[in-house]
Amino acid sequence: MQQKNILQNLRYDAPSGLVVFLIALPLCLGIALASGAPLFSGLISGIIGGLVIGSLSGSHTSVSGPAAGLTAVILVAIQDLGAFQTLLLAVVLAGVFQLVLGFIRAGSIADFFPSSVIKGMLTGIGIIIILKQIPHALGYDKDSEGDMYFSESGGANTFTSIWQSITQFIHPGATLVALLSIGLMLLWDRPAIKKRLGAIPAALVAVFVGILMNELMKMWGDPWAIRTEHLVNIPIAENMSAFIGQFMLPDFSQITNPKVYTVALTICAVASVETLLCLEAVDKIDPYSRTSDPDRELRAQGVGNILSGLIGGLPVTSVIVRSSANINAGSRTKMSAIIHGVLLLVCAALIPSLLNLIPLSALAAVLILTGYKLAKVSIFKEMWRNGKFQWWPFIITVVAVVFTDLLTGVGIGLVASVIAILWGNLNNSYLFHKDEYHEGDLIRIQLSQEVSFLNKASIKNSLENLPPNSRVLIDASNTAYIDFDVLEIIREYAAQKAPQKDIQLLLSGFKEKYKFHDADFVHCETDNEGNPTNVNRADSAVLN
């Protein structure tokens, strides 16, 4: 049955795997370059991410490979450890640590990321993809494909690179290829064309047209022809023996080096958090609303990193760019991730020269549309409609991700979310506006869903300022939880302050477990307008 299901979905997964392969190829090389590692190590980790993690993962949509979030860690680690082979040992150990995390069920940490932060992260990544790919679309390829940081080498940043590409380094041929590629992909999504040619991925058409255009410009000697430095650049081995020679083993003689363990723990922590964030995010945009087991994913990532380190690859994580492109391309199952790994292996081994004809501007066009689908205007409208306590953590996360990096941005977003929760809890623990009441009116205090110790001071202050000779109704009909300290404040007020000011205190909607055992409380029911009915003197008192 499972094999039949795989075959039925293959017509969707194969084109999706091809699209992800086209996107992953320059990213694998770019991340290796930015990390100061051999270019082939990036391809190895991409292959492992597809074949190994794709097979072991329980996620239908997630695609793994080398991650931009680890480039700075790897760059510093290689310099600190003194050799790339020593870094490979740290990658193996990081994989072992991830396996342990998976077996002790540490993946549940993903449940603590609020949806507003996850959506902010996805939107921020979408904006970064667009901003980072604009220079590549215009033929300015100084910054590597895998760099997702706002700050760049030489004191530049994302915006200065865009400005330089527009004002100084724009390449007419590359720009034409990018614009034509975007136009073709938008045209391909039109219902009339999609109905007839939907089985052919739009990204593949754009890439082939880009190659054809550039080859024709070369034949004609056109000055707009795209030069080698603006094309994909896979290392070409002279023969199969030379290809196999690009794989390398870790330096196990450094197993007692404490620095190796420090780097391994750092890689494990960063890679695990990025993976869990990606898993949570892609599950939210999965059109079939499937959920993934985070513990199984950690175990799969652990095995993947062990194998990647053993044969000369970079650390591997689940990656949002590849995963979102996979979903947008129409993937149904994890076969698309496996197919992308197979294509990376076959093409790197057999046809690297053909792949080196692909213009980076054509791939930039594919990524720009991927970024747009993550950062649509409709997402901003939706979060605005959800209210300020969803909007502010969302927009803060977006801005933080764009101007820092993924992990820092999510950390800032989490802090903003906690502040929003606390602020909302402090200011919305009850509904009472004293200015709206006049002498002789019933004063109604409506408690919110959650009333914690953080609300203690504000509730106490409001009770202290109630006018003398009044009737006060505290309504807990919509309240799920009331903190012990708040209950004590109500008790003390009823026993001491209310009699002194000749205030009649009425309670409504309090749960049975909040048992009061003295006669200072009057329990009642309320009608649809919140007015008390069926007033009865209570005869019980202490919180259970």
pLDDT tens column, 96-149: 999 999 999 998 887 778 888 999 999 999 999 999 999 999 999 888 777 778
pLDDT at 84: 96
Residue 530 belongs to a domain with what CATH number? 3.30.750.24
Tokens for 504? 């009649």
Strands 532-537 and 522-526 come out as antiparallel
The answer to whether the CB of 54 falls within 8 A of the CB of 334 is yes
pLDDT at 478: 77
Q: Tell me, yes or no, whether 384 and 434 share the same domain.
A: no
SS (HEC) of 287-311? CCCCCCCHHHHHHHHHHHHHHHHHH
- Boundaries of domain holding 39: 2-390
Q: Tell me, yes or no, whether 486 and 343 share the same domain.
A: no
The answer to whether the CB of 297 falls within 8 A of the CB of 276 is yes
pLDDT at 235: 86
Tokens for 523? 């329990």
Q: Tell me, yes or no, whether 322 and 445 share the same domain.
A: no
d(Cα 475, Cα 335) in Å, to the nearest integer? 55
Q: Tell me, yes or no, whether 250 and 313 share the same domain.
A: yes
> Is residue 336 a part of any domain in this protein?
yes
Q: How far is CA 474 from the centre of its chain?
A: 42
DSSP letter for 359, please. B
The answer to whether the CB of 462 falls within 8 A of the CB of 445 is yes
Of 328, 362, 390, the last residue of a domain is: 390
Of 390, 422, 441, the last residue of a domain is: 390
d(Cα 154, Cα 148) in Å, to the nearest integer? 16
pLDDT at 304: 98
521 SS3 class:
coil
pLDDT at 131: 94
d(Cα 364, Cα 215) in Å, to the nearest integer? 18
Beta bridge partners, 64, equal: 318
Q: Tell me, yes or no, whether 474 and 354 share the same domain.
A: no
d(Cα 229, Cα 234) in Å, to the nearest integer? 12
Low-confidence stretches of the chain (pLDDT beneath 50): 1-2, 431, 433, 435, 517-520, 535-544
Sequence-ordered list of residues with C-beta below 8 angstroms from that of 163, at least 6 positions apart, any chain:
none
Q: How far is CA 345 from the centre of its chain?
A: 27
Residue 38: count of CB within 10 angstroms of its CB = 18
pLDDT at 518: 45
Q: Tell me, yes or no, whether 353 and 452 share the same domain.
A: no
Prediction pTM value: 0.77
Q: Tell me, yes or no, whether 372 and 485 share the same domain.
A: no
Of 505, 433, 438, 437, nearest in space to 476 by CA: 505
pLDDT at 324: 93
d(Cα 84, Cα 91) in Å, to the nearest integer? 11
Rounded to 5°, angle at Cα 77 from 72 and 78: 105
The answer to whether the CB of 133 falls within 8 A of the CB of 125 is no
Tokens for 170? 């724009």
pLDDT at 222: 83
DSSP letter for 234, please. -
d(Cα 181, Cα 178) in Å, to the nearest integer? 5
- Look at the chain and report how many structural domains it folds into: 2
Q: Position of tokens 């004191």?
A: 155
Q: Tell me, yes or no, whether 222 and 160 share the same domain.
A: yes
Of 53, 54, 62, nearest in space to 98 by CA: 53
CA distances from 15 to 28, 195, 328 (A): 20, 16, 11
> Is residue 419 a part of any domain in this protein?
no
